[in-house]
Amino acid sequence: MAFPPGFLDELRARVSLSDVVGRKVALKRRSGAEYAGLCPFHNEKTPSFTVNDKKGFFHCFGCGEHGDAVGFVMKTEGLAFPEAVETLAREVGLPVPRATPVERERAERVSSLQQVVEMAARWFQKQLRLPVGRQGLDYLRGRGLEDATIDDFRLGFAPDSRDGLLSALKRESVPVDKIVEAGLAIQPDDNREPYDRFRGRVMFTINDRRGRAIAFGGRVMGAGEPKYLNSPETPLFHKGANLYCLDRARVAATKDQPVIVAEGYMDVIALHGAGFSGAVAPLGTALTEGQLGELWKLADEPYLCFDGDNAGRRAAQRAADRALPLLRPGKSLRFLALPAGEDPDSLVRAHGPDAIRRVLDLARPLADLVWEIETEGKPADTPERQASLQSALKQRIDQIADPIVRRYYAEAMWNRLQRSREAERPARQGSWGGRAGARPGGARLSRGPAGAFEIPASAGVEARRAALDLDGTSRQVQVLLGALVDRPAMLHVLAEEAGKLPTDRHPELARLQRGLLDALALVPFGLDPAAEDAAAGDAPLEARLIIDHLRRNGLGRQAEAARLKALQVFRRNSHDGDEWVDQWRRIAGHMTRHLANMAELQQARDELARNPTEENDQRMKALLSRINREAVEAGNNR
């Protein structure tokens, strides 16, 4: 029984070889998509049997057996080729075409259409180099593409003509109905003459998995609409089952290149030019189940890189929604956070490949995005809001079909909820050593036993002046947090100390503190990884990512106010990260000592109230004198 070539390609693309072999062989992952186990075709004690999901074959270095998923089923289950194909097709839900005259005719038609699309691709490439394509060539060169890149990706130009391509293909004896069926021309409903689908556009050739031209995307020159126009669904081309540059990414994945999903064609080409040849893009649609399946064949955790604007964030959320029901152990997504207003193309052109590597290092797991979707800009500071958050998270988690992954997501989100509740819990009064409900100025004194005396007025006044007013504390905390906003690379060095800053009486500062600590994962380890950016006068990429994160969580105003306060205190002209860290620790240390003094002062005041003796009065005065002296010394050392 003969099967159409396209059907066998589709079957091999859908089948996971490691899953098929894993039913017969206990496999252990070696690295990436490569597994090893004991060969089922001969007796051995040391594994020499290798399975590679990306390359789609198995091989035994002991006995030499080699093949693909179909061959494995044939050899292990004693099936003929047609039976093995039908078995695998049923497992992945792929209808088996019958070798009827109709099917043979369809296969021939698809082959014929592919030839037509190939002819169109060559014609578009030729037009780009003619005077009629000068506008398109100038556009591509203006986007930083060299001629070698333009040729490599088979970029072309469709002249603004009603029937330029039609006429060219008809001169090659291509029937008009084939041109229409290939999606290259439009046939009006009223039977008027057909006309070119793509006109006045730079053309991007879309290939199938095997690198054959099957469709096009066109970007309009000028102000026309739509900005991008893709080929329609045809017997050759199914948007939801393919990705731009998928053929190249399949090769790159075998070399352990990261698989990166960008939004646009130019982003993909820019990433390839920067050395990231595993970059792909959807074809005018949001990510589909079929495209996610293709990505997971290439990498366990492909990176999704969307523009750093609201549209990019919405695209990331749609991708998360689509992926959740499909998650299974080891298969997920990671999300790249770009600064607002940036896309991969602009980032590469402005900062080079290193900027992309840094962004890859900052990638966040899908679980982080799920949490962010439900919490961004939504305070959970009341029982009702916390209940709403828990309900929303449960609805998302319930979408996960795999029970193991669903359970781990539930545990992870529950732990985050618990941390969030602790952070939002209202501060208790008297948390710095005083009694609950006590005023900052101190407890009122009752009269003591006979012969006792009242605390001297001067002592009470001094105590109230020395008791650190909370506004003073908040200013110092604001300065310290603002320094971390301006120099986010210090977060790794100072994270533990920043987490201990006294913010429990100041909800706004507490939110800023949590926002900075949550953003810790966005900052690479080290004091100043963006020194080159800073020296060049650019805003460091890390700082822009942190600010964008804080703004999206409703903390932009507080962060900027804190940063400006910090710049009034810290040495702005210092590029020495160590100097800023030292100054940060000096300020934090002084504040910590002062708060400890206030707790000691409150204790002494309470003791004097309970037992107003001369000894306790002298102890109180000595403590006040020490606190004032330390305050003067600290001021002189600033």
| CATH for 404 | 3.40.1360.10
CATH number for the domain harbouring residue 122: 3.90.980.10
Using the 3D structure, point to which of 91, 119, 140 is the last residue of a domain.
91
CA–CA distance, 490 with 587 (Å, rounded to integer): 15
The DSSP code for 326 is: G
The answer on 609 and 470 residing in a single domain is: yes
Residue 64: other Cβ atoms inside 10 A: 10
Assigned domain for 444 exists: no
The answer on 264 and 304 residing in a single domain is: yes
SS3 content of the chain, % helix, strand, coil (to 5): 55, 10, 35
Higher pLDDT, 451 or 370: 370
CA–CA distance, 560 with 549 (Å, rounded to integer): 13
Its pTM stands at 0.65
Higher pLDDT, 301 or 568: 301
Task: Check residue 250 and give its pLDDT.
Answer: 85
Q: What total of structural domains would you count in the chain?
A: 4
The answer on 408 and 286 residing in a single domain is: yes
Low-confidence winner among 95-99, 211-215, 328-332 (lowest mean pLDDT): 95-99
Task: Check residue 30 and give its pLDDT.
Answer: 82
Mean pLDDT of 396-418: 94
Is residue 443 pLDDT above 50, yes or no? no
The answer on 609 and 514 residing in a single domain is: yes
Task: Check residue 326 and give its pLDDT.
Answer: 95
Assigned domain for 483 exists: yes
Task: Check residue 425 and give its pLDDT.
Answer: 58
**Cis ω for the linkage preceding 226 (within 30 of 0):** yes
The answer on 120 and 49 residing in a single domain is: no
The answer on 330 and 257 residing in a single domain is: yes
> What DSSP element (H or E) covers 132?
none
Domain range enclosing 366: 241-425
Assigned domain for 435 exists: no
CA–CA distance, 75 with 87 (Å, rounded to integer): 13
Task: Check residue 168 and give its pLDDT.
Answer: 96
> What DSSP element (H or E) covers 23?
none
Residue 518: other Cβ atoms inside 10 A: 18
pLDDT digits (tens, 9 = 90+) for 540-568: 666 677 777 788 777 888 888 888 888 88
Residue 571 — pLDDT band, cuts 50, 70, 90? low
Task: Check residue 537 and give its pLDDT.
Answer: 46
The answer on 119 and 86 residing in a single domain is: no
The answer on 356 and 220 residing in a single domain is: no
Task: Check residue 43 and give its pLDDT.
Answer: 86
Task: Check residue 6 and give its pLDDT.
Answer: 72
pLDDT digits (tens, 9 = 90+) for 16-40: 899 899 988 999 888 777 899 999 9
The answer on 276 and 254 residing in a single domain is: yes
CA–CA distance, 515 with 623 (Å, rounded to integer): 38
The DSSP code for 209 is: T
Residue 637 — pLDDT band, cuts 50, 70, 90? low
Assigned domain for 110 exists: yes
Assigned domain for 11 exists: yes
Assigned domain for 579 exists: yes
Is residue 508 pLDDT above 60, yes or no? yes
Low-confidence winner among 184-198, 464-478, 585-599, 610-624 (lowest mean pLDDT): 464-478
CA–CA distance, 395 with 32 (Å, rounded to integer): 32
Calculate the alpha carbon distances from 633 to 310, 569, 593, 628, 636 in Å. 50, 17, 13, 9, 5
Higher pLDDT, 500 or 106: 500
Pairing of β 57-60 and β 49-52:
antiparallel
CATH number for the domain harbouring residue 38: 3.90.580.10
Mean pLDDT of 239-252: 91
Using the 3D structure, point to which of 373, 401, 425 is the last residue of a domain.
425
Mean pLDDT of 103-121: 80
Assigned domain for 499 exists: yes
Task: Check residue 217 and give its pLDDT.
Answer: 96
Assigned domain for 451 exists: no
The answer on 323 and 175 residing in a single domain is: no
Mean pLDDT of 327-339: 90
CA–CA distance, 262 with 249 (Å, rounded to integer): 12
Using the 3D structure, point to which of 63, 91, 119 is the last residue of a domain.
91
Is residue 578 pLDDT above 80, yes or no? no
The answer on 223 and 141 residing in a single domain is: yes
Q: What residues does 34 pair with on adjacent strands? A: 31, 52
The answer on 377 and 305 residing in a single domain is: yes
Give the percent of the chain with pLDDT over 70. 83
